[in-house]
Chains A and B, each alone.
Chain A
């Protein structure tokens, strides 16, 4: 632990700017939703992202992160945004929409064409990669 780097040059910091959801995460955790965080928001973010946070809580925040338009449902446009961010617009629109449809088909248990928090949690809790 002792030799961990604590001072970063701007270049090094740039190298860390690769998370496709970085803006979104900042928005979700900021109280006003504008991406500017108070100290409390900041601490909240760290506690949620830490290893010790319960999975339910993580699932909740993950849901919020993926819910781009803040309507409490992950709808198709949210999914498309997610896919495009993850793949850096490499997929064709057809592939994107097909993938989104499949996601909704798989996880949407109440057949309303969008994923509610319950749907999302139900799905994500079973994922082996979800920590």
Chain B
């Protein structure tokens, strides 16, 4: 019955998994261009693919924007608004009707297009339209704001998600090459094209990994690199300021020329646009050359390049705008026109990109009918978008396609190899293309308020761009020489987009807040300010109490404290985020340390064993995870890590003569307390966390125990000493390890045969002696690094946490259980060991302790205290405690600086046995 149920459950599970996979495959079908992007990714690497993914994401945003404007503004106006020809603003002027169908007019978006739903001017200013009373002006305003709000929110959300993902995915990168090699092939591939793509993808991913590796170990000549980078940045700065100055100068000059003479030559008319376009063309390539100086990782180079080009563009733009504003101001025109002209200069942001700006335009636009001045502004935007698209198509065709064709077919009859020398095939320029996308989107954002159809147009444009670009990439471009890995979670593009959004919002907001809307057209005609529509609605259409409430809320009494509160909140959240980040990093490092220790350390030790003697190493950290505070687990991780480093060092430096080490391992092996640990490893006593390897190895084996319970000293001193000690490879410092929880790496080895000592007693003696030596070094051991040495591993307390007495007691209980349930070893052995221990202790105590002076350091007291606290909680272990105590006195003996009398030490023992509470106090 059971088995059938189980089987059916398993079958269900299987079906469910299958269904999930099918569903996933089905969903993937609906991700637009997924196949196309995958194909590009496999052939060109993730860097190029990141451009297309970015494009697709922008496409998604624009769809939402289109729906917003379309559903709430355009459709209502079309359905319920006054029909074409009903009002002045919706009628073509009679003198224009003649030319309305001309290509030239259509091209400049004049004629019928000018009086269409495309533009702000077409929308009526009736407060309510249609039978249902749709408040179009209000909707217009709200949608305009919502476009920005949505863009901001979606951008920030995406950025937050990306940063979360990058946190999650950056955890385990230890096996980059292995996974890329062994897990590379998709065994489900059954299509030659896919197989080819997959092979290309594998090549790319291996190249990427190799590149990363080379970047990692690139020999760093710091002085040269830094000086080169400084020079490069200076060069970039120089060229930026130069370009800004040139633009300003040219605009200034053209203005003077214009003032001086009436007839201008062709060059004088176009010099601004020519200069601007020349700068935008040349500067990026110059930056690229400069970037070669810097020797960054290609990804970093790309970012620098992008940032610099962006700064260049913006610098140019602002210098242009400022210069034009100066010019406009210098002209004594009516304020209204000047204001509108200023708004025209806003459109220059885009204009200048394609070098379409010239004073002639501004001048000419000033004469356009005042009615449609805003329509013209947005018309300019739309026109620019179209021109931009045409330019893109042309450049793709010219630069990529025809170049590719030429190189492909002319190279046979040319005097040099076209394919490998000069023109070559084009590479896909990620930086420029991404910037282009960002600009394009900025254009849309800037124009969207005054031209509700702009997002819809942009959607079409992006679709076209997607197909065109992907086709061009696959047909005309060659993969980059250096493929690098661009993470999916690439916040850099998004940050640029956010910046652009902010910049593009400014002119719109400025126009909304600053200028009076035109009197005879547009939804806001007749109002003082555009945003008055909101307050008007509130005043007229909401109940009285609501408007008064709004008035209260918008008064400074409320606004200022709210603002302050927001600032405080931001500060608070920021600081929390910073601390969380810090903690996160630390935890990740710790996890890595633990896992590295688990995997590498064991194996390294085993490898070492082969040359010296065989050691049985297992780990025993997390067995009592439930009792351990996180900090102690982590500290163990660190300790293991350090030990691992030293051990591998040992392996490498002296693989054949590790005499001291070997001897030590022998000693540790015969340490009686270790046997306890084996006993302790009883699943019944420790629950699920207990390892199961007991049965596998009948013999007690050698452990290295990391002693972590030493009183700490000055951490700086400790670290320095630690390093020194590891370097000289003193056997005492690699203390014993006492691990229990890694089962996988257990290597079973018969260790007895290597034992140089015939009897256990002797072994014990020597072990103790060694221990004393070790103890003398204790205060500078690993544990000193930690702020709170509360965790005990090894012979004394067996993983105690000294945070509270209860905890300690609990441990001892489990400990005893472990003893009782022990199967491997008869109980007398344990007792015998203890007796022996005590004997030995006394034996050592006699000769050494006598000549001591009466001085006892506080430090030693704390150490023994900490031991006695745990030990005294259980009388059964008192012998064990004595043993430890004696060690302590011994240590004091061996250390010339710290001295201790026999009497004192005995007192100490008694104290520890009888009055734990006192000792706790003294410890505190």
Contacts and interface: CB of A to CB of B under 8 A. Distances in A.
Interface of A: 15-16, 18-21, 49, 51-52, 62, 66, 79, 82-83, 86-88, 90-91, 95, 98-99, 102-103, 106-107, 109-112, 120, 122-124, 126-130
A127 B603 contact: no
B192 A18 contact: yes
A122 B179 CA distance: 12
Nearest to A62: B182
Interface stretch (B106-114, B168-176, B711-719): B168-176
Given A91-B203, A109-B599, A19 B187 contact: yes
Interface in B715-772: 744
Interface in B153-208: 172, 174-179, 181-185, 187, 189-192, 194-195, 199-200, 202-203, 206-207
Nearest to B606: A110
A18 B200 CA distance: 13
Most chain B CB within a 10 A radius of its CB, from A19, A21, A52 = A19
Most chain B CB within a 10 A radius of its CB, from A51, A62, A126 = A126
Contacts of A49: 187
Interface string B37-75: 000000000000000000000000000000000000000
A129 B199 contact: no
Contacts of B744: 122
Contacts of A129: 179, 183
A127 B182 contact: yes
Interface residues of B, number: 39
B211 to A, nearest CB: 10
Interface in B587-627: 599-600, 602-604, 606-607
A36 B101 CA distance: 77
B213 A111 contact: no
A123 B175 contact: yes
A82 B183 CA distance: 11
Interface of B: 14, 17, 172, 174-179, 181-185, 187, 189-192, 194-195, 199-200, 202-203, 206-207, 209-210, 213, 599-600, 602-604, 606-607, 651, 744
A87 to B, nearest CB: 5
Given A15-B192, A88-B199, A126-B175, A95 B207 contact: yes
A99 B203 contact: no
Contacts of B207: 91, 95
B190 A107 contact: no
11 contacts: A15-B191, A18-B190, A18-B195, A19-B187, A103-B177, A106-B175, A109-B603, A124-B183, A127-B182, A127-B183, A129-B183
Contact of A102 (B187, B202, B209): B209
B611 to A, nearest CB: 11
Nearest to A49: B187
A128 to B, nearest CB: 8
B195 A109 contact: no
Contact of A95 (B195, B206, B606, B651): B206
Contacts of B195: 18-19
Contacts, number: 106
A127 B17 CA distance: 20
A45 B561 CA distance: 73
Contacts of B213: 98, 102
Contacts of A18: 189-192, 194-195
A127 B175 contact: yes
A94 to B, nearest CB: 9
A91 B206 contact: yes
Contacts of B176: 102, 106
Contacts of B190: 15-16, 18
Contacts of B607: 110-112
B167 to A, nearest CB: 16
A101 to B, nearest CB: 9
B189 A83 contact: no
Given A19-B187, A52-B14, A87-B206, A109 B600 contact: yes
A53 to B, nearest CB: 12
A88 B198 CA distance: 11
Given A18-B191, A99-B210, A87 B203 contact: yes
A106 B177 contact: yes
B612 to A, nearest CB: 14
B632 to A, nearest CB: 26
Contacts of A122: 599, 744
Contacts of B174: 106
Contacts of A91: 203, 206-207
B604 A111 contact: yes
Contacts of B200: 90
B652 to A, nearest CB: 9
Nearest to B599: A109
B484 to A, nearest CB: 15
Nearest to B173: A106
B199 A82 contact: no
Contacts of B189: 18-19
Nearest to A79: B181
Contacts of B184: 86
Nearest to B180: A99
A-B pairs, 10 with minimum CB distance: A18-B195, A109-B603, A129-B183, A102-B177, A87-B203, A90-B203, A103-B177, A111-B607, A127-B179, A16-B190
B199 A99 contact: no
A83 B180 CA distance: 10
Given A19-B189, A21-B185, 20 more contacts: A18-B190, A18-B191, A18-B192, A83-B206, A86-B185, A87-B202, A87-B206, A90-B199, A91-B203, A99-B206, A103-B178, A106-B176, A109-B603, A110-B603, A123-B178, A123-B179, A124-B178, A124-B183, A127-B178, A129-B179
Contacts of B203: 87-88, 90-91
A99 B177 contact: yes
Contacts of B179: 123, 127-130
Contacts of A107: 175, 178
Nearest to B172: A126
B14 A103 contact: no
Contacts of B604: 109, 111
A110 B184 CA distance: 25
A83 B210 CA distance: 13
Contacts of A21: 185
Given A111-B607, A122-B599, A82 B178 contact: no
A99 B181 contact: yes
A20 B181 CA distance: 13
A15 B192 CA distance: 6
Contacts of A19: 185, 187, 189, 195
A15 B196 CA distance: 11
Contacts of B194: 18
A11 to B, nearest CB: 10
Contacts of B192: 15, 18
A49 B187 CA distance: 9
Contacts of B606: 110
Given A86-B199, A87-B199, A111 B603 contact: yes
A78 to B, nearest CB: 11
Nearest to B202: A86
Most chain A CB within a 10 A radius of its CB, from B181, B194, B603 = B181
Contacts of A62: 182
A21 B181 CA distance: 13
Contacts of A88: 199, 203
Nearest to A95: B210
A3 to B, nearest CB: 14
